[in-house]
Amino acid sequence: MRKRTNVIGGLLALLLAVFLGAGCATVTETGRKQFNVVSPQQEMTLGLNSFTQMKKEVPISKDPAANALLQKVGQRISAVANLPGAQWEFVVFESQEANAFCLPGGKVGIYTGILPITKDEAGLATVIGHEVAHASAHHGGERLTEAMALNTVGQAVEGFTADSKWHAASTTIYGLGTQLGVALPHSRKQESEADFIGLKYMARAGYNPEAAVAFWERFAAFNRQAGGDTPWFLRTHPVDETRIKQIKEWLPQAKQEYRAR
């Protein structure tokens, strides 16, 4: 058992070394090294297929004002984003969920449930800047790469412990360890990175980055009212207080790129 434990530990150490120390690409706006084996073309194909399917399954809003505003903000943000070859598309979906997303390749969707929180054009620019930042930083490909790596090591753990009485415990520990120690922290890091890049995008597009603070404060109030009490270490996103604090710290950098329209 000791030998197997050492091997598993070695595999986990190697996995962490890959994600923490190695990098096949660099996020342009932050300089962060990222391990990503998914090409931009593969990302774009996956994003296009997923978006096409979603438009068939989720009702699309017919509200002319909401659609016009999204097109206006989306075009301004995408014009300053660093995503060569993107096929930008912006769609308002009918859903009470207070959320938005950007699939690889430039497919952006917002749910009508978030519009009362965005409140105005600058608030929507905060959300779109954040989502577009995910695409330009290739977070989708990076997450897919991470999932493949974790799955590969997980299969190795299964193989090494298959005939052991510790099999169930080992696989459980591995699953919890990678989720709490790798996947969730990495997700929170990507979200913070998207906040930072998105702040710069909205500033470059002519939106006052200070509006981001007001939006996240409204979003925090919405979360409190909705009863969101998930412990921070189980969250895919940073807690609201942390996001607001970080954005306030980044405002001086963003304001250097702000030119009012």
Residues 250-260: tens digit of each pLDDT: 999 999 999 87
Q: Which two tokens stand for residue 205?
A: 């597009």
Q: Which pLDDT does position 34 carry in this prediction? A: 85
Looking at the whole model, is its pTM more than 0.75?
yes
Residue 225: which pLDDT band, with cuts at 50, 70 and 90?
A: confident
The residues near 249 (Cβ < 8 Å, ≥ 6 apart) are none
Q: Which pLDDT does position 194 carry in this prediction? A: 94
Distance of alpha carbon 124 from alpha carbon 193, whole angstroms: 18
- Tell me what the mean pLDDT of segment 172-194 comes to: 60
- Tell me what the mean pLDDT of segment 56-76 comes to: 97
Q: Which pLDDT does position 13 carry in this prediction? A: 55
Helices assigned H by DSSP within the chain: 2-21, 40-57, 64-80, 115-118, 121-136, 139-161, 167-178, 184-204, 210-226, 240-255
- Tell me what the mean pLDDT of segment 134-140 comes to: 91
Which amino acid appears at position 175 of this protein? G
Q: Which pLDDT does position 58 carry in this prediction? A: 96
- Tell me what the mean pLDDT of segment 160-180 comes to: 50
For the chain, percent of residues with pLDDT exceeding 90? 52
Q: Tell whether the model's pLDDT for residue 15 goes beyond 80.
A: no
Domain that holds residue 17: 2-255
Q: Which two tokens stand for residue 68?
A: 């016009």
Is the residue at 260 inside a domain?
A: no
Q: Tell whether the model's pLDDT for residue 4 goes beyond 60.
A: no
What are the backbone dihedrals phi and psi of residue 258, each rounded to the nearest 5 degrees, phi first? Answer: -85, 125
Residue 249: C-alpha distances to residues 231, 245, 254 (Å): 24, 6, 10
Which amino acid appears at position 11 of this protein? L
Q: Which pLDDT does position 200 carry in this prediction? A: 97
By the 8 A CB rule, do 254 and 233 touch? no
Distance of alpha carbon 174 from alpha carbon 157, whole angstroms: 8
Q: Which pLDDT does position 228 carry in this prediction? A: 60
Is the residue at 261 inside a domain?
A: no
The residues near 245 (Cβ < 8 Å, ≥ 6 apart) are none
Is the residue at 249 inside a domain?
A: yes
Q: Which residue has the tokens 């009508």?
A: 112
Distance of alpha carbon 161 from alpha carbon 221, whole angstroms: 47
- Tell me what the mean pLDDT of segment 238-252 comes to: 92
Give the number of domains in the chain. 1
- Tell me what the mean pLDDT of segment 206-210 comes to: 97
